[in-house]
Amino acid sequence: MKRIIFESPAEFSILCVLLGLGYAAIQYYRVKKQPWGRPINLLLFASRAALTAFLAFLLLGPIVKQINNLYEKPHFVFLYDNSASVKQTVDSATLGKLTREVDDLQNALAENGYSTSTQDLKGDAAERINFNLGSSDIHSALRRISHRYEGQKIAGVVLVSDGIYNTGLSPLYGNYNYPVYTVGVGDTTERTDVSIRNMAYNKIAYQGNKFPLRVEVQTKNLRPQEISISLLRRGKVIDRQTQQSKGDNDLIAFDFQPLAEEQGIQKFDVVVEAKPGEQNSRNNRASLFVEVVEGKKKILVVAPAPHPDIKALREVVEKNSNYEFHLHIPGISENPPGVLRPENIDLAIFHQSPDTRGRTTGLFQSFLKSKSSLFLILGQQSDVTQLARQDLPLKFEGAPRDFDEVTPVVNQAFSNFTISQDAHVIMADFPPVYVHFGKAHVHPTSTILLYQKVGSVTTDKPLLVLDIKDSKKTAIMSGEGLWRWKLNEFDKTEQTASFDELFGKLIQFLTTTDDKRKFRSYPIKQEFSDTEPVVFESQVYNDIYEPIYGNSIEINITDETGKKNLYSYVTSPGNIRYQIGGLKEGVYGYRARTNINGAVEEVRGEFAVTEQQAELQNLTADFDLLRKVSAATGGNFHPASNMAGLKEKLQRVEAKSVIHTEESYDSVINLKWVFWILLLLVSAEWFLRKFYGSY
């Protein structure tokens, strides 16, 4: 729909017409003086009047207002549970038939005015679904749809699943803004089964110590009888226990205390004796990998008073079994003098210390003179004046008294360790922390990890600074309120992965002794799943420890049987990683080599590959869960054998499009057809005058 609006009063249009008529009359009011007759004179009069009136009309600044209605089709998402448990209980012919029926339903909805798409639990679009996913997280998949199609009309989601989830929250607790139509696939028959339900143990143990291992065994459809379980290392039984089950659906806990003998990654196998009638015996066996190390790194937090920041950092530290946490708050949580000695501490975190009341000043001075790494978090109780007198990487100009609210921005040029892009995105929405307001100077040898962002403006002021001087590492966070970051991320993502990554890597960097080797090659983590590639990262440096590229890296992988495989690649900027796929469960040793200035450099180590068995723990389809999800969201449940019923129901639902209205404004003089009208009027008058002998 179009209409014209004016910048000036519309009544002026009458004056434009009168102006056109008057100007044309002056030129053509006497026919006898012209070399043409009366009809041609009237035609020329009309052309001149129209041209003049139209030009005057354009001076009024008329604007064309156009209203467009855009129709957005309602959308149906077809979500496949592509986990391995579906393939274990349903034959390929049945799955093929089900897939064809779902495709027919999708085509029928498209013909009825819906737009459709197909995706799996990982959120990937796929024309052909492969049921090989190692875990089932139905809630996250449904939640991902809400985020992906936010602001769009979702008519519904058709979930094809067996109702088994083994990762994430139960979909019953999800709040979805669309109806979920569930299609139940799988076998609901309760089978006789004895399975390893859960194993609880420390990922890291200390050489010479025993570590606790609890194994929970679940029995189903089994009469009361003895359940035997064995713990093996390198194929030899090192412990065996037997307990009496109470009958059907019993959960039995077995507690072991194996000895951590050798350093490195040690593999232990847990095997439950199979019972007659079991159809699924693969969940009777499981492996665990324990890294045996020499000792823990000690981390001390010193503060003048309790603060929620301390709890947030403590949770990050205690997630790593290789750390030992100590908290010292004078008069509240004190430690023996031996613990407070700098030579016994790998990292000292001073929260708002030294403080203005001097409660922690002496302790701060002793650690400042030591070789222990420091992490300072400044706040309202910090004695900034005293800090300015110390040799620290961050100093304030004057004594700031005011505070400012700032948010973090990651320095893209920071290279001491990497922060993932996902963390960058999450951190961009972190709430503000309180920093001292004033000009701060960063030492030339220091590097900035986080900058301050005030409102929407990213400044060059440091928020988190790192420095290495004479092998002593120091980090300074110029603001308090870190606990808000952790709560904010959990509120949005139901986890704190980005917060833990930032401070976990920072603490790891501060507690790690500098590696002066010119060649470093290592797996990016110690334990991989058999469904993901093993990723190696290699770094080569020159004599002044600048990264260099173009080196050929050889990686020799040896499995537990002694079989070796050789891999090689050449490093380049942006390509220092190498992926190795297809490795089975086990402990692998690796030896990486390269040539630097004619000398062979070598690195050795170990990593583990674990088999994903979550999908083998339970193969009994849970149609009751699917019914409840559909009922809670306004959808319906249909077994796979009744796809026709679902098709009939959805085809009866009218596809109501969402209308989006757009308004656009454009000056009339900018329209192309105006130019052609003006050209036509001018050309017509010029041609007639020329043709009939006038100039």
* pLDDT in the model for residue 70: 67
* pLDDT in the model for residue 685: 81
Whether residue 10 has pLDDT greater than 60: yes
Please state the rounded mean pLDDT for residues 512-534. 83
Window from 169-173, 346-350, 503-507 with minimum mean pLDDT: 169-173
Q: Do residues 278 and 161 share a domain? A: no
Q: Do residues 153 and 22 share a domain? A: no
Whether residue 664 has pLDDT greater than 80: no
List, in order, residues 6 or more apart from 598 with CB less than 8 Å away. none
* pLDDT in the model for residue 71: 65
The pLDDT confidence band at residue 515, using thresholds 50, 70 and 90, is low
220 contacts 192 by C-beta, under 8 angstroms: yes
Q: Do residues 181 and 198 share a domain? A: no
Beta-bridge partner residues of 215? 199, 254
Share of the chain above pLDDT 90, in %: 32
Whether residue 442 has pLDDT greater than 80: yes
For every residue of 187-233, DSSP letters joined together read --PPPPEEEEEEEEE-SEEETT-B--EEEEEEEES--S-EEEEEEEE
* pLDDT in the model for residue 672: 82
| Tokens describing residue 376 | 């300072």
* Enclosing H/E stretch for 447: strand 447-454
| Segment of 346-355, 384-393, 608-617, 674-683 carrying the highest mean pLDDT | 346-355
Phi first, then psi, for residue 632 (nearest 5°) are -70, -25
Please state the rounded mean pLDDT for residues 40-50. 83
| Per-residue DSSP letter, 444 | T
User: Helix 482-493 vs helix 497-511: angle between axes, to the nearest 10 degrees?
Assistant: 140
The pLDDT confidence band at residue 399, using thresholds 50, 70 and 90, is low
CATH number for 441: 3.40.50
Q: What angle do CA 275, 277, 283 make, to 5 degrees?
A: 60
The distance from CA 119 to its chain's CA centroid, rounded to whole angstroms, is 18
Whether residue 177 has pLDDT greater than 90: no
List, in order, residues 6 or more apart from 679 with CB less than 8 Å away. none
Q: What is the pLDDT of residues 69-104, one digit of tens each?
A: 666 788 899 999 988 888 888 888 888 888 899 999
Share of the chain above pLDDT 70, in %: 96
| Segment of 8-17, 261-270, 309-318 carrying the highest mean pLDDT | 309-318
Phi first, then psi, for residue 376 (nearest 5°) are -100, 130
Q: Do residues 170 and 63 share a domain? A: no
Q: Mean pLDDT in the chain?
A: 86
The pLDDT confidence band at residue 625, using thresholds 50, 70 and 90, is very high
Q: How many CB atoms lie within 10 A of CB 223?
A: 10
* pLDDT in the model for residue 32: 58
Q: How many CB atoms lie within 10 A of CB 502?
A: 25
Domain count, the chain: 5
- The CA R_g of the chain, rounded to the nearest whole Å, is 37
- Containing domain of residue 258, as a range? 193-293
User: Helix 92-111 vs helix 643-651: angle between axes, to the nearest 10 degrees?
Assistant: 10
With respect to residue 261, please indicate whether it lies within any of the assigned structural domains. Answer: yes
| Tokens describing residue 564 | 């070796």
Which amino acid would we find at residue 496? T
List, in order, residues 6 or more apart from 540 with CB less than 8 Å away. 518, 519, 547, 548, 549, 551, 571, 594, 596
* pLDDT in the model for residue 181: 93
11 contacts 655 by C-beta, under 8 angstroms: no
CATH number for 604: 2.60.40.1930
Let me know how many helices (H) and strands (E) the chain has, helices first: 15, 36
Window from 359-373, 388-402, 520-534, 637-651 with minimum mean pLDDT: 388-402
* pLDDT in the model for residue 398: 65
With respect to residue 615, please indicate whether it lies within any of the assigned structural domains. Answer: no
Query: In terms of C-beta density within 10 A (0-12 exposed, 13-18 middle, 19 or more buried), how is residue 529 classed?
Result: middle
Q: Do residues 269 and 362 share a domain? A: no
Please state the rounded mean pLDDT for residues 321-338. 88
Domain's final residue, options 454, 482, 511:
511
Locus of tokens 């928020």: 463
* pLDDT in the model for residue 214: 93
Please state the rounded mean pLDDT for residues 206-218. 87
CATH number for 268: 2.60.40.10
Q: Do residues 172 and 141 share a domain? A: yes
Query: In terms of C-beta density within 10 A (0-12 exposed, 13-18 middle, 19 or more buried), how is residue 245 classed?
Result: buried
Greater confidence, 544 or 309? 309
Q: What angle do CA 292, 296, 302 make, to 5 degrees?
A: 160
Whether residue 7 has pLDDT greater than 80: no
Query: In terms of C-beta density within 10 A (0-12 exposed, 13-18 middle, 19 or more buried), how is residue 497 classed?
Result: middle
Burial track 568-592 (b if 16+ CB lie within 10 A, e otherwise):
ebebeeeebebebeebebbbbbbbb
With respect to residue 176, please indicate whether it lies within any of the assigned structural domains. Answer: yes
Q: Do residues 33 and 79 share a domain? A: no
Q: Do residues 266 and 209 share a domain? A: yes
Please state the rounded mean pLDDT for residues 231-252. 89
With respect to residue 591, please indicate whether it lies within any of the assigned structural domains. Answer: yes
Greater confidence, 193 or 628? 628
Whether residue 159 has pLDDT greater than 90: yes
Q: Do residues 83 and 227 share a domain? A: no
Which amino acid would we find at residue 648? E
Measure the CA–CA gap between 97 and 507, rounded to whole angstroms. 54
Please state the rounded mean pLDDT for residues 630-650. 89
Which amino acid would we find at residue 656? K
Phi first, then psi, for residue 119 (nearest 5°) are -150, 165
CATH number for 140: 3.40.50.410
Q: What is the pLDDT of residues 587-604, one digit of tens each?
A: 999 999 999 988 899 999
Locus of tokens 């093929």: 96
Q: Do residues 274 and 346 share a domain? A: no
Q: Where are the beta strands (DSSP E) in 472-548?
A: 472-477, 479-480, 519-523, 527-529, 534-540
* pLDDT in the model for residue 658: 63
Tell me the pTM: 0.52
Q: Do residues 172 and 115 share a domain? A: yes
Residue 354 preceded by cis peptide, ω within 30: yes
Whether residue 683 has pLDDT greater than 90: no
CA distances to 116, 257, 298, 509, 527 from 324, in Å: 53, 21, 5, 16, 22
| Per-residue DSSP letter, 141 | H
Is residue 515 classed as helix, strand or coil in its secondary structure? coil
Whether residue 695 has pLDDT greater than 60: no
134 contacts 120 by C-beta, under 8 angstroms: no
Measure the CA–CA gap between 448 and 460, rounded to whole angstroms. 10
Q: Do residues 458 and 435 share a domain? A: yes
With respect to residue 102, please indicate whether it lies within any of the assigned structural domains. Answer: yes
Please state the rounded mean pLDDT for residues 572-601. 91
With respect to residue 111, please indicate whether it lies within any of the assigned structural domains. Answer: yes
| Tokens describing residue 278 | 């079991």
Whether residue 260 has pLDDT greater than 70: yes
**Residue closest to 87 by CA, chosen among 610, 616, 627, 582:** 616
With respect to residue 483, please indicate whether it lies within any of the assigned structural domains. Answer: yes
With respect to residue 162, please indicate whether it lies within any of the assigned structural domains. Answer: yes
Measure the CA–CA gap between 475 and 482, rounded to whole angstroms. 15
* pLDDT in the model for residue 33: 65
Locus of tokens 């004190």: 334
Q: What is the pLDDT of residues 108-158, one digit of tens each?
A: 888 888 888 999 888 888 777 888 787 889 999 999 998 888 878 888 899
